[in-house]
Amino acid sequence: MSEATVLLNAAEQGDPKAANDLLRLVYDELRHLASIRIARNGSGQTLQPTALVHEAWLKLVGPKSPSFNNKGHFFLAAAEAMRQILIDRARRKKAQRHGGNFVRVPLDDVDLAAPDADEKLLAVNEALEIFAARFPVQAEIVKLRYFAGMTNEEVAELRNISVSTVKNYWNFSRAWLIKEIGPEQRPRSE
């Protein structure tokens, strides 16, 4: 049994020290995933990787004891927490009281042809919710790849499946999502 699994079990039993030890154990990996996710989210993102990790951690452990089956389940929950945080921020920024449809245009970057990063994120999330209802396993792969920024190899190891299966699920998922939301807002395979 890995150290992470032991700490997950101890944290689930209510050991507050175990939750802190678990955070120290996985912090660097979570921060790396958050850095990738924020970098892929495009310009205009004001959330820093450290803040995203801390917010996700609070969502994961919160006031109640976490309940995770294994390390893979933990990282899937972390990816979901990061996704929810980014979606909530995108929705909040689009709200009328936060500027609504006003667009910040830096004078240096006047030549914008791509869709707004927040609009893209919301479109992908909306399509992903529909997709997850029909294809839950493939949707988990999308969350880990797109929202947590993991590579095919990392997802394969985490989900205990082959890299070729991850690639097949990712290609199928991307094709479905592109058809649903259009090619201009598609999830890229970076």
Helix (H, G, I), strand (E, B) or coil at 61: helix
Chain-centre distance of CA 181, in angstroms? 19
Regarding pTM above 0.85, the answer is no
Torsion sign (Cα): 167, 172, 176, 178: positive
Supply the mean pLDDT for the chain.
78
Q: What is the structure's pLDDT at 188?
A: 56
Phi-psi region of 2 (alpha: psi -120 to 50; beta: other; left: phi over 0): beta
Q: What is the pLDDT of residues 78-110, one digit of tens each?
A: 888 888 888 888 888 777 565 555 565 554 554
- From CA 31, how far away is CA 114, in angstroms rounded? 27
Torsion sign (Cα): 165, 169, 172, 175: negative
Confidence of residue 186 (pLDDT cuts 50, 70, 90): low
State the amino acid at position 80 in one-letter form: E
DSSP letter for each residue of 115-151: PPHHHHHHHHHHHHHHHHHH-HHHHHHHIIIIIS---
